[in-house]
Each structure stands twice: as structure tokens, then as C-alpha cells.
């Protein structure tokens, strides 16, 4: 496997926000989102080659109670499926953060999927593999990064039209250092959307430029 980094931190974005979590960030991504905060994982030029066993050993050493597989885009590496199965077999609670372009149908059903939906500001508004929505369970999540009012209205209208709002767990997160959390909160309240406000807790704690946290 091509691994960008493995580290222990606080879960900052999902419905499990605030819990200690071990992160396995795989290298390589098929998108280049305009506001991506992990562009260093776009390619594998600085990645470390590790076997699934190597990754499992590292995770055990850091703490395997809650583990997130992220990227880059993890599902571009076939071995990520095996890694998640082994982690589940170990008794870990496993999260998969995916950019929404890859089929999640082969992911172990014990894994909680956090699927991104890319709005206009990302530059990849047409990238979502919408068939994934029907494969999500009640514990899976959909996340949208919101940079401006256009993103917000697009996400609100698109997720309503596709019957996602009110049927799945949805989080809208403001771009850190861009759109104010207060502004996004006011939009959500004004429209009474059944959406969770995401605040990227790890960036509040360590700052927006810190890596390995």
C-alpha cells in the first residue's frame, strides 16, 4: 500500500467528532479540489510502501479502538478493502472517508462510510457517483464542504431533490478560514435543514496548517 501518513489524533469531522482516533492516510487522489487541505497526499511521490500487515501493526501500536481510513482517495487502492476488513475483525470501529467518486459497494458493511459530495467551488461538481447513495446505511454519512452561498444553495437543492436530506446523516462544513461558521449556521437555521454543522475540530485545536494531527 502507498501510505502518506499514520497518526493518532482527535476525530474532527464525523458524527464521532471529539473521540480519539487513529488515522491511516493513503496516498493518491483522482481529484484536485480547489480548497483541498491534504494536497500533499494527491500523489505517491513521498508515500511509504507498506503491506496491509505493516499498517495493522502500526495501528495496533497507536490505538485501534477507532480508526479512519482516509486520503487522498483510499478506494483507489484495492488493498484498502482488505485493510478495513482486518480492522473490523480486530474489533475496531472503522471509518472510511471517500471523495464520492468510487463505488462503495465492496466496502465491508461493518465500516462506517463518510462520503463527500463535491459542490461547485471544488471544481468537481460532476464527480459524484450518485449510485453510492443507495448503498449507504443509516450509520453512514454524507459530507459537503461549503465555500459560499452558491455551494450552500446547490447542496441544499441537490440533496433535497435526490431525497437525501431527512433520510441520511448529512454534514455541511464551512471551508476553514473562508466562510464563517456563524454564517453557515444561520443559513441552516433559516432553511430548517436537517443537517449537522461541521467545524473541523482538529483545525481549531492545532491550526489549519498542521499535519499529522
C-alpha cell of 200?
473541523
Cα 197 → chain centroid:
15
Q: Which residue's C-alpha cell is 437543492? A: 157
> Residue 72 has what pLDDT?
93
Distance CA 135, CA 186 (A): 31
Strand partners, 2: 49
Residue 202 CA: distances (Å) to CA of 54, 93, 211: 26, 20, 10
Under CATH, domain 2-206 is a member of which superfamily? Answer: Aldolase class I (3.20.20.70)
Domain boundaries, the chain: 2-206
Sequence-distant (6+) residues with CB within 8 A of 72 are: 4, 25, 26, 27, 28, 29, 38, 41, 42
The pTM assigned to this predicted structure is 0.93
pLDDT 10s digit of each residue in the chain, 213 long? Answer: 999 999 999 998 888 989 999 999 999 999 999 999 889 999 988 899 999 999 999 999 999 999 999 999 999 999 999 999 999 999 999 999 999 999 999 999 999 999 999 999 999 999 999 999 999 999 999 999 999 999 999 999 999 999 999 999 999 999 977 899 999 999 999 999 999 999 878 777 777 666 766
Distance CA 58, CA 15 (A): 25
Amino acid at each position: 500500500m502507498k501510505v502518506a501518513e499514520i497518526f493518532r489524533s482527535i476525530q474532527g469531522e464525523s458524527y464521532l467528532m471529539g473521540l480519539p482516533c487513529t488515522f491511516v492516510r493513503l496516498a493518491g487522489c483522482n481529484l484536485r479540489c480547489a480548497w483541498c487541505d491534504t494536497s500533499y497526499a494527491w500523489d505517491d511521490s513521498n508515500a511509504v510502501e507498506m503491506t496491509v500487515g505493516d499498517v495493522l501493526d502500526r495501528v495496533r501500536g497507536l490505538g485501534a479502538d477507532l480508526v479512519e481510513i482516509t486520503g487522498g482517495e483510499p478506494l483507489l487502492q484495492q488493498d484498502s478493502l482488505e485493510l478495513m476488513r482486518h480492522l473490523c475483525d480486530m474489533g475496531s470501529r472503522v471509518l472510511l472517508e471517500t471523495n464520492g467518486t468510487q463505488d462503495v459497494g465492496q466496502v465491508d458493511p461493518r465500516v462506517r462510510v463518510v462520503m463527500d459530495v463535491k459542490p461547485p467551488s471544488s471544481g468537481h461538481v460532476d464527480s459524484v457517483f450518485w449510485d453510492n447513495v443507495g448503498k449507504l446505511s443509516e450509520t453512514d454519512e454524507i459530507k459537503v464542504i461549503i465555500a459560499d452561498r452558491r455551494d450552500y444553495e446547490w447542496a441544499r437543492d441537490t440533496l433535497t431533490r435526490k431525497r437525501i436530506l431527512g433520510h441520511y446523516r448529512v454534514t455541511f462544513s464551512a471551508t476553514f478560514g473562508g466562510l464563517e461558521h456563524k454564517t453557515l449556521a444561520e443559513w441552516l437555521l433559516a432553511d430548517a435543514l436537517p443537517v449537522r454543522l461541521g467545524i473541523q475540530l482538529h483545525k481549531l485545536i492545532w491550526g489549519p496548517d498542521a499535519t499529522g494531527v
